[in-house]
Structure 1
Amino acid sequence: MNKPSSCVRRALSLRPCAFAVLSLAAACAAHAEQPMQPLLLAQNARMPSLQDMVVTATRTEQPLSDLVADISIVDRETIEHSGATGVADLLARLPGVEITRNGGIGNATSMYLRGAETRFTAVYIDGVRVDSQSTGGAQWEQIPLAQIERIEVLRGPAAAVYGSDAIGGVIQLFTRKGEGAAAPYVGVGLGSQGTRKLEAGISGAIGADKALDYSLGLAHARSDGFDTKTSGAHNPDRDGYRSTSGNARLGYQINARHKLDATLLASRMNSGYDAFTYKPASPVDDRNLHRLHTAGLTWAAQWTEAYSTRVSVTDSASCYETTPSLYRTETSLRGYVWQNEYRLGAHRFSAALERREDRLDNPALTASGLAINQGRSQDALALGYGYSAGGHTVQVNLRHDDDSEFGGKGTGSVAYGYAIAPAWRVTASLGTAFRAPTLYQRFSEYGLPTLRPESGRNAELGLRYAEGRSTFSAVVYRNRVSNLIVFSAPGGCPSTFGCYASTARAQYEGLTLAASQQWAGVQWHGSIDIQNPRDLDTGKQLRRRAKHHATFGADTQVAGWTLGAEVQASGRRFENETNTQVLGGYTLVNLYASTRLARDYTLLARIDNLGDKAYELARTYATPGRTFYVGLKWAPQ
């Protein structure tokens, strides 16, 4: 793979259907007498049970029963059975999530959580913040799914806990953690379009009382790909990719009350794309070159039975470069967090001091370009209070961020949950959030230093049911964002093409229904999102987001095989803000099967887009069509 020498290498057609809605509602009422256990949702992803421990909602580990939050959990088994190559493809099977991509794996990918822009979702890998101060938001094509063990998706604003960016929600990704005896694994896979995968790793714990835990993983994938463009002058070659990634994780239990954890992740992606400047008379192979590094060190201390602290230092570097047409950008983030928690019976108090340092390096690669080498910092104090007892749950969070560019910004949230019956809970929450403009939006040739932070206000109500193999949830929300930054007409910035402006307003409102039920030996699952993401000034639907999307599926055990089917559906979307360029709705059918060939060997087979449906996630960009994948994994039991 070519290495961009300038990058700093740092190791630190669906309509709302009454029948479907009624089916989801009915699923929650059946078989309530069955015992509680983890439940399957889209593609074996779990709708979390009340016993699940979750980190994302309050930044400290808590049982879901103590939280008032709309959360999905994806575990390693789900990831392996998904057959997905990209993290975004896997997340698209969850409630409230849509994605778009300019072609195949490795190309520009956007992820919309409850309809909110990519930059409105805060993303963490092992507690390390990942972001781009150029495009805004995580560059999903850089995150290697092969290294991820678990994903937690929090829908709804969380700026009162995490600060800037968490207007739409938070996504936490965790790498493998070692425990018990040494557990090696090796996996290989082959698929359509010349796809090949190879992964290997080992994890475990050694020493007295298994005090030292470790995990190491390596993975490589490549594909010949397909022609990513459907029209216009472009290179008709196949735009494939090559991806290499690795992670290391080490933990040391110093004694019963103190532990150190260190994490490291590195990823490289080289993918093909078709540039707008392509000339048939002089064809070139345009390539994306991605680099992502994350590193973190954490000291967790349990000083007394009631009082605990966590101190973390984190670092990430995200590089993007194109060749032979030259463009390069690098974002580096460093974070420091001192988290304190005190428990007193059913009460929980928290206080955190946090500092975040961002830097953007965009060299001037043309005579007319404007170089950017800018940084900023944010210092924050966050306070939290939680209470859970007698069927009542309360969570209150307040945070103040002091930005070196904009000054102070306060956010807050309050949430309440009540168990109206042993299996039923109602929830309500209010929250405010913000995102500071990216350094590119302020200091590029299209930027304005006077841009204001984007601000959001969210309100939601929820109803949840969990009993045995039956679950049901209904969440209605409205998130209104002001000072929305858009690309507007020239004026105020050096560019005569256009400038960024914080003049727009948007509203993301909708209803998410999800359910899971075992019936007749089959695990049924599904979710429906009915939403209205719109521009409040024009009344138009926001680009590339559907008003309706859904996932349904079922899986069962037959003669030692796990067999399943999945349907992904989306309504029509629009490519442009004026809603004149239509992206048609689509329905995809996926099939999968897995079995244990021997004690230590597992076989997986998938067919995605069984009907070979032609559809677009972005106008004039192709999608893969029908694909096949077969994988074999060796993991001693």
Structure 2
Amino acid sequence: MNKGINLALIFLVIFLLITGQPLMADEGQDELFVLDDIVVTASKYSEKLSDTTVSMDILTQEDIQEKNAQNVAELLRDLSGIYISDYGGVAGQKLISIRGSENNQVLVLIDGQVINSSQNGQIDLSQLPVEQIERIEVLKGPASALYGANALGGVVNIITKGGSRKPITEFKVRYGSFETQQTAFSHRGNTGRVGYNITAVKKDSDGDRENSSLEQMVFFSRFDIEMDQYNDIIISFQYNDSDKGVPGPQTSPSPNAEQDDQDTNINLKWRQNKEAYDTNLLIYHNKHEQVYDNPDEWGYTEASKHNTARTGIEFNRTDYFKLHNLTYGIEFKRNKIDSNENGQHDNLNQALFVQDKWQVIEPLEISIGTRFDDHEVFGSEFSPRFGAVYSINDDLNVFVSAAKAYRTPTFNDLYWPADAYTEGNPDLEPETALAYETGIRYFKQDMKLELNYFTRDVEDLINWAAGTDYIFRPYNVDEARTKGTELMFSKRYNMGVTVGFNYTYLDSRDKETDDRLAPIHNANLDLSYKKGDISSSLICRSVKDRPDELDDYTVVDVKLAKVFFFDEGESELYFKVNNLLNNKDYEVREGYPMPERNYTLGLSTKF
């Protein structure tokens, strides 16, 4: 970044500081915490957070706006129990782990639809912009009883924005280090019975390393059609086109490798809400085309081309009785791949699920559920779950849960192209897990406090190893045990100051070798100030005792923002410094250096 830009940023900071007089000095105007957020992910119907029998984190629209994040990975990385495997830079992959899980053991949904790759089971969160997101719910722990395969580690449910009663137009621009530029436009409104959301995002960056550039274009549209007072139809369409360089690890760089991803998604939902029951029908189709081209690769003949598709139908209903709520449904899902390396394959999964939650006595609720999956390749799986929550008083409750979950092998696991050194294994079995959790939650007006203890035992873990013929194949050979504790605290003080802190202790080990599989200590501190039209925040992330003798690291990010009001709307000008202490040596993923101190200057206007 040249001197002129540095000076401009310094002047911006000074300007915000000297002009940051609050528009409202009355402390009573400060918003208090929402005592009981409403969530849908835990039971597939709307319920209070305090009524859930599992640990959950929620990012509201206010949280998302305050973070000024560029992608979903930046939104989630500061939550308790969450670890983002970051391959560095704007274009580097960012894969999620929950409580020491593998990246492909976390199920990621958008409006209830699975978006994990059927080829490798993962989802690159750096490819998901935040402009169309209303809220995010994170369920920590196995959830196969409702969501089936690949929810072994947890579930991330991304809920998009619908229309608005009044027309809202928003325009955002960002400029930052490494010639990173992002422009976003969205317009939401209503034409009587049809609410709509049209969003477009364009991002370009040279990247912080050689061959780490990114060009991305995303278009999203959603239409909420009110049929009558009980019935709605929601239709959404998204297209995501991304071209990026893939620099590889420093030990074996790939200076000419490129990857092109094109993702097209159509989602249709019918929703019926009545006093006695809710009914939902979801139909979706996703198509993903990926081309990876590395001309320097040993034995190179042509680019790798992978076309995957997923089509699904899910019906679920919840009946509300006086003392219990009964949820049940069916799901059909077909995955396909057409690849010049993996070949052509497809499989079908059919499932039935049911869950009943009832009030045994006034302060005690118990939930029992199970799901039966019939996969045409891997056979059948039962995934039961039990949970209970006991309310000590209006502010304090305790919960316990026990669950079984599983993950099916991916197309890569089964059909990796055979050569003299590696090949897939079509005889693999699903990974299975048994998990337990207990926790205590306290919500009191301006404070939240939660303490959880959890364990998870996983069997038949898929690991690539050399066979007797010295060819590497994936086998169901590993077992892992994870146990840990989470502490979450947030409190809003007078004068607009909020303190947030979370800490995760994690002991995740290979049961045979006793090797550690994840960092032991992970802590996040969030200090923020908001008064009237000015706000600031400082976020500190610290990771200690990492596996494979990787170095510990601590990173500090800061942000300063000011809001300007005008007749028909408002604008926010903000300035962010990432890696404020200029930690030049830290790596989240071995071999992939993280960017040194870098800057972002952004402006958003809403009217």
Task: Name the counterpart of 1:436.
Answer: 408
Task: Name the counterpart of 1:541.
Answer: 516
| Partner deviation per Cα, 1:288-324 (whole Å, 9 max, x = no partner) | 212222221111124x531331111012223332224
Is 1:592 equivalent to 2:559 in the alignment? yes
1:276-287 matches, cutoff 5 A: 285-287=256-258
The 3 A distance-change label for structure 1 pair 166 and 278 is closer
Letter in 1 for 2:256: D
CA-CA distance at 1:569 after TM superposition:
0.7
Task: Name the counterpart of 1:359.
Answer: 336
CA-CA distance at 1:533 after TM superposition:
1.3
2:249/2:592 contact within 8 Å kept: no
Letter in 1 for 2:391: A
1:132/1:139 contact within 8 Å kept: no
CA distance in 1, matches of 2:230, 2:533: 44
| Partner deviation per Cα, 1:601-623 (whole Å, 9 max, x = no partner) | 11121111100112011222111
Task: Name the counterpart of 1:140.
Answer: 125
Aligned counterpart for 2:206 among listed residues 224, 230, 241? 224
CA distance in 2, matches of 1:255, 1:399: 33
Is 1:79 equivalent to 2:64 in the alignment? yes
Aligned counterpart for 2:228 among listed residues 252, 255, 261? 255
CA-CA distance at 1:334 after TM superposition:
1.3
| Partner deviation per Cα, 1:66-104 (whole Å, 9 max, x = no partner) | 322211111333333323323223211111111122332
1:128/1:294 contact within 8 Å kept: no
Is 1:555 equivalent to 2:528 in the alignment? yes
CA distance in 2, matches of 1:135, 1:291: 16
The 3 A distance-change label for structure 1 pair 451 and 472 is same
1:67/1:395 contact within 8 Å kept: no
Aligned counterpart for 1:290 among listed residues 261, 267, 271? 261
SS at match of 2:392: strand
Moved more, 315-324 or 618-627: 315-324
Is 1:204 equivalent to 2:189 in the alignment? yes
CA-CA distance at 1:278 after TM superposition:
11
Letter in 1 for 2:514: G
CA distance in 2, matches of 1:361, 1:139: 20
| Partner deviation per Cα, 1:88-146 (whole Å, 9 max, x = no partner) | 23211111111122332333332111110111111111222112222222233332333
CA-CA distance at 1:588 after TM superposition:
0.9
| Partner deviation per Cα, 1:423-470 (whole Å, 9 max, x = no partner) | 111110000001111122112232211111100100011010000111
Task: Name the counterpart of 1:470.
Answer: 447
1:583/1:618 contact within 8 Å kept: no
The 3 A distance-change label for structure 1 pair 279 and 572 is closer
Aligned counterpart for 1:626 among listed residues 573, 597, 602? 597
1:112/1:118 contact within 8 Å kept: yes
Letter in 1 for 2:534: W
| Partner deviation per Cα, 1:195-218 (whole Å, 9 max, x = no partner) | 1110001112221xxx21110100
SS at match of 1:226: coil
- When the two structures are aligned, how many residues end up with a matched partner? 562
Task: Name the counterpart of 1:376.
Answer: 347
Task: Name the counterpart of 1:340.
Answer: 317
Moved more, 159-168 or 414-423: 414-423
Is 1:104 equivalent to 2:89 in the alignment? yes
The 3 A distance-change label for structure 1 pair 67 and 215 is same
The 3 A distance-change label for structure 1 pair 277 and 548 is closer
Is 1:409 equivalent to 2:368 in the alignment? no
CA distance in 2, matches of 1:163, 1:77: 31
Letter in 2 for 1:423: D
Letter in 2 for 1:246: F
CA distance in 2, matches of 1:337, 1:558: 45
Moved more, 171-180 or 558-567: 558-567
CA distance in 2, matches of 1:193, 1:338: 47
SS at match of 1:486: strand
CA distance in 2, matches of 1:63, 1:594: 32
Is 1:564 equivalent to 2:529 in the alignment? no
Aligned counterpart for 1:169 among listed residues 154, 157, 163? 154
RMSD over aligned Cα, in angstroms?
A: 2.2
Q: What are the ranges of 5 or more consecutive residues in structure 1 without an aligned counterpart?
A: 1-33, 40-48, 228-236, 365-370
1:479-628 matches, cutoff 5 A: 479-491=456-468, 497-521=471-495, 522-542=497-517, 545-558=518-531, 560-574=533-547, 579=548, 582-599=549-566, 600-614=570-584, 615-628=586-599
Q: Which has the higher contact order (CA 8 A, sep 6+)?
A: 1
Letter in 2 for 1:501: Y
1:192/1:629 contact within 8 Å kept: yes
Q: What are the ranges of 5 or more consecutive residues in structure 2 without an aligned counterpart?
A: 1-27, 296-302
Task: Name the counterpart of 2:167.
Answer: 182
CA distance in 1, matches of 2:454, 2:427: 31
Aligned counterpart for 1:311 among listed residues 281, 298, 310? 281
Letter in 2 for 1:603: L
Moved more, 317-326 or 378-387: 317-326
1:516/1:525 contact within 8 Å kept: yes
Identity of aligned residues (%): 23
Letter in 1 for 2:384: G
CA-CA distance at 1:527 after TM superposition:
0.2
CA distance in 2, matches of 1:196, 1:81: 20
CA distance in 2, matches of 1:550, 1:109: 19
TM-score by length of 1: 0.84
| Partner deviation per Cα, 1:351-379 (whole Å, 9 max, x = no partner) | 10111111122213xxxxxx421111111
1:157/1:169 contact within 8 Å kept: yes
1:332/1:360 contact within 8 Å kept: yes
Aligned counterpart for 1:460 among listed residues 413, 437, 440? 437
Letter in 1 for 2:490: S
Letter in 1 for 2:89: G
Task: Name the counterpart of 1:10.
Answer: none
Is 1:58 equivalent to 2:43 in the alignment? yes
The 3 A distance-change label for structure 1 pair 256 and 608 is same
Letter in 1 for 2:402: L
CA distance in 2, matches of 1:244, 1:340: 37
SS at match of 1:239: coil
Letter in 2 for 1:220: K
CA distance in 2, matches of 1:305, 1:62: 14
CA-CA distance at 1:171 after TM superposition:
0.4
SS at match of 1:145: coil
1:320/1:329 contact within 8 Å kept: yes
CA distance in 2, matches of 1:573, 1:327: 33
Letter in 2 for 1:447: G
Aligned counterpart for 1:213 among listed residues 195, 213, 216? 195
Letter in 1 for 2:560: A
1:459/1:477 contact within 8 Å kept: yes
CA distance in 2, matches of 1:491, 1:138: 33
